[in-house]
Structure 1
């Protein structure tokens, strides 16, 4: 059956009559213009608001969202752990062609509208008069340039494009329908296309062509291109283009953007200043252009001291770099500084999960970890109630690594799979798996005579992980397993895992615990090399079989088959059924040993900051941390100096 979905961007009236009126520029525009832009407006280096906004801007009904229309001005400070973390501005800013609202429903955002037919044909309508942050128009040529000169260029895209753009190995057909409309068409369904555009690191299908052409060999003469390469210290023109076009980590201050704030600071720097985009496409119901806040300052610090700096009043909005075990300290800061700490619910399938590496190089342990009886035994031996009470003050929920009750896909049997504290059953399962022999200290012996000693590795970014592992060490000792912990830096930790040198790791559970059937279930199958329970299988999938190893465990192969079936599905019923099959396999096989979910994330903010929800869902995908709550609508009660 052919289905058709057509979605229009939010277009309302409210106080926008003056916005669309030809007399607007001479009317009440003084109240609608940010004071931050007054010098540029007086110098006429910036046009008035009516000429900066699209003809039909996206109107955000704040009162409908239970929030208060705000006022312009001010600066907020936040702290990041490294210069690379300026990507948080891309995640928090959350301007997408299409994006999720707070109910996790896809809406047009940068686009005025989109039409989807049977997940095979996607037609996008651009907002007339929409402009990049430098004032250049957003047009269909920006989509055409990215398609013809970036995605189809073998120097810039040697792999042939993202997997999200390929169905059965084939890219879509791209066409420009008219001056405001582009279309992408596949012969088979691509249900992941729209979600990938709404992702924390969105699929790129457009870019500011007027700016980027100067870095492309097709449009720039060789002499000038060579000079630009030398100036930017790169040896290939493709590396130059990639560097200057990088949007997710916006290091190039000259790159035009569609986000609410634009970077003004070139790296290296200990402080990055983002200033309001004067051409941003959203307004509130009173016609005030968003964002309300003029500047966001990101101060670079060591990750280990972010909680201390936050508690010392050095941040006006902080969620990254702080954890639940910092809550008491941060709450105490409320007595000394004008700040408040909220607690949001984390969307991970498990706040901490133990991940046996089914691709580890140790042949004996690899065989044991691939035995479901061993994984189930390790899970049953853990006393989750003790962990919840000791580490999370009883505020979390003992659970397998699975979706949360907030997801329409949730079932109690997934959450309860192999989580009861049952050392007797755990011991019996390990005996069945061939680990009956023990030494005088009651530690089991492996088939080759070695002691059953497991080293769990951690990037050491949170003392919470260490606290949990201290308890698990005692739990596993009671079933004859000796546990040791090794800490290493995150980059080293990941490279060791991908090389098979890690036996077992502690990390977060599945990324998206609030999934809907329309979202790709790839987190449940070996699809990425950063999945620490099967990194080589994930690498194989990601590289289309060029690297890594093909999965050779039947249950993992079935998960891959089902995930492929989801990508080819044509109905919500099909997708829902596939999700449930995959959740059932993933939890019953205990590929990830989930411990506690529904845990809380501290979000500290200045008392002056308005419109930040007291409660929210906090996670990377799909909520983009603070992103779906639209930080461009946050405002300061009084300006900060």
Structure 2
């Protein structure tokens, strides 16, 4: 059986069709041009809108989404913690070849359409007349250049490209079928391909070849290339090309983009200006080109004072750098400034999770943590209701570290696995695990006679961690476990974890709590070296066995085998079943001790800013923070609301 997914058209979220831009023949008679571009239009340094848009632009039907068509103009201020955080504009702008809609269904965006056959052959159709932000054509040659001259160039891509592009170690075949159509094909399914194109840090398949060729040794003479290398302070031509072509962190103002806003400021700087892209490919149902907002101004500040600055009215749209712990303070700002604070649901499997390190260097504790009875006992001893009420004002949901109800894969038994507060059962499980002996203070004794003292380490980036652990200290004291807290910096924290020097840590739960069966379930298996419950096993998987240690726990091995089955599958029903098996194993084995999920993230905005949802899902992948809600459709009203 062959699974085929074909999506074509110029539609907005949730609506199919192939409508042309309304009344383009009479565009000059209508107010469809941003005033921001008026000087360039009068000087004829910029063509009129019909010549800037693709022949069939993407039409975003705002009314169908429950939003209102807006008006052009205005500047939105936001605050970032460092210059590298200009990447948020790439995430928020969320212009992707293929992206998610608000229901996390794939939709063509930059592409006019796409077809997937059995997840082995992917055919992409470009929008005729689409242009980069500098007005140069966006064509199949840009894909050809990136494939032949970047990905296959050993100087530019010494590792052979992203692992997502490799199936059993093999890159796809790349073909240009005609002037507007390209194809990538593998011999076996590649279910990771589309999700990675739609992600917050998307897989890069294309670049503005007309601009980038000046930095490539195959297209530039040696003398001029040397001068460009000297000018940009790099020693190798490959480093020059990489520096000038970086899209995720858009530091090069001259690099053409397909995003709704383009960076106008070269680093280093304390303020970055992003201006509207006059060739952006989306329009609303009235023919107005998106984005509505003319400029974003990103002010660099110390991360520690972003909440204070936001509460002082210095940001018009703020989501990063603030946390639920700041909510009361930020809410009070509504009485002083024309701002509004909304609460979106965080998409993580648990706002915080306690992670026993199954690779820790202490032989005794390592064996205990690998005993599921110990992990279950530690989970049962925690009073999640108390944590929810004391730390999250009762607004979260006590849960294991698993998917949220918004995921089509959610099952209550996963969320409820080993979370009931039951001190008696927890004590019984620890007795069964061989920890029945205690000292005169009631602290259990390890098999080697030491006290059962657990140190949980935290990177110290949120007061939530320590607030939670202070409560857990009391809960575990009742089952004879002494808990101590150690705070360190993130880099040291991760280094200690991978070195086996951390017994247990507190960190976020599963990254993607709203997954669909089309999304990779690798977060449930040892696949990455930053998974703090099994970093050495994850390193082994990530390095194809050259580093770390191979997993030797049967359930962890089974999770890895199930993941490999998912990677070979092209059928939704089979992928769904694999996800369910992995979720059942992960939650029953309590590989991470989830506490509370469905917690809330403050989103602060000026009351003038329209079309920002009052409620939404907030997370990095797959929702790209604000991205799937299309900030290019946000607009500023003339009056405070």
Q: Which residue of 2 aligns with 1:18?
A: 23
Q: Which residue of 2 aligns with 1:294?
A: 294
State the distance in 1 between where 2:498 and 2:300 align: 29
Contact 1:9 1:109 in 2 (8 A): no
Q: Which residue of 2 aligns with 1:466?
A: 466
Contact 1:304 1:461 in 2 (8 A): no
- Structure 1 segment 565-576 matched on structure 2, within 5 A: 565-576=565-576
Q: Which residue of 1 aligns with 2:446?
A: 446
Other structure's SS at 1:468 match: helix
- Structure 1 segment 514-593 matched on structure 2, within 5 A: 514-593=514-593
- Structure 1 segment 56-455 matched on structure 2, within 5 A: 56-455=56-455
How many angstroms does 1:639 deviate by? 8.6
Other structure's SS at 2:595 match: strand
State the distance in 2 between where 1:387 and 1:275 align: 44
State the distance in 2 between where 1:223 and 1:444 align: 73
Contact 1:13 1:285 in 2 (8 A): no
4+ runs of 1 displaced by more than 6 Å? none
How many angstroms does 1:158 deviate by? 2.0
Contact 2:151 2:157 in 1 (8 A): yes
Consecutive unaligned residues in structure 2, runs of 5 or more? 12-16
Contact 1:14 1:286 in 2 (8 A): no
> TM-score with structure 2 length normalisation?
0.96
State the distance in 2 between where 1:590 and 1:551 align: 16
State the distance in 1 between where 2:537 and 2:152 align: 28
Q: What is the root-mean-square deviation of aligned Cα atoms in Å? A: 1.6
Change (3 A) 1:593 1:78: same
Change (3 A) 1:13 1:540: closer
Contact 1:355 1:507 in 2 (8 A): yes
How many angstroms does 1:15 deviate by? 9.1
State the distance in 1 between where 2:46 and 2:490 align: 44
Q: Deviations over 1:551-591 (max 9, x none)?
A: 22111111111111111112111001000000001101111
Other structure's SS at 2:112 match: strand
Q: Which residue of 1 aligns with 2:29?
A: 27
Change (3 A) 1:177 1:544: same
State the distance in 1 between where 2:98 and 2:328 align: 38
State the distance in 2 between where 1:235 and 1:434 align: 61
How many angstroms does 1:253 deviate by? 1.3
State the distance in 2 between where 1:160 and 1:431 align: 52
Contact 2:142 2:209 in 1 (8 A): yes
Contact 2:22 2:286 in 1 (8 A): no
State the distance in 2 between where 1:267 and 1:201 align: 21
Contact 1:340 1:604 in 2 (8 A): yes
State the distance in 2 between where 1:49 and 1:191 align: 38
Other structure's SS at 1:505 match: strand
Other structure's SS at 2:335 match: coil
> TM-score with structure 1 length normalisation?
0.96
How many angstroms does 1:536 deviate by? 2.0
State the distance in 2 between where 1:489 and 1:237 align: 36
Q: Which moved more, 1:470-479 or 1:239-248?
A: 239-248
State the distance in 2 between where 1:503 and 1:153 align: 43
How many angstroms does 1:235 deviate by? 2.5
Contact 1:74 1:639 in 2 (8 A): no
Q: Deviations over 1:37-71 (max 9, x none)?
A: 11111121111111111111000000110101000
State the distance in 2 between where 1:622 and 1:289 align: 26
State the distance in 2 between where 1:148 and 1:297 align: 37
State the distance in 1 between where 2:344 and 2:587 align: 25
Q: Which moved more, 1:335-344 or 1:268-277?
A: 268-277
Other structure's SS at 1:233 match: coil
Q: Which residue of 1 aligns with 2:613?
A: 613
Contact 1:73 1:639 in 2 (8 A): no
State the distance in 2 between where 1:218 and 1:366 align: 54
How many angstroms does 1:181 deviate by? 0.6
Q: Which moved more, 1:406-415 or 1:524-533?
A: 524-533
Q: Deviations over 1:344-379 (max 9, x none)?
A: 111111111111122222222222222211111111
State the distance in 2 between where 1:361 and 1:84 align: 35
State the distance in 2 between where 1:308 and 1:585 align: 43
How many angstroms does 1:148 deviate by? 1.2
Contact 1:306 1:321 in 2 (8 A): yes
Q: Which moved more, 1:33-42 or 1:237-246?
A: 237-246
Other structure's SS at 1:6 match: strand
State the distance in 2 between where 1:599 and 1:17 align: 42
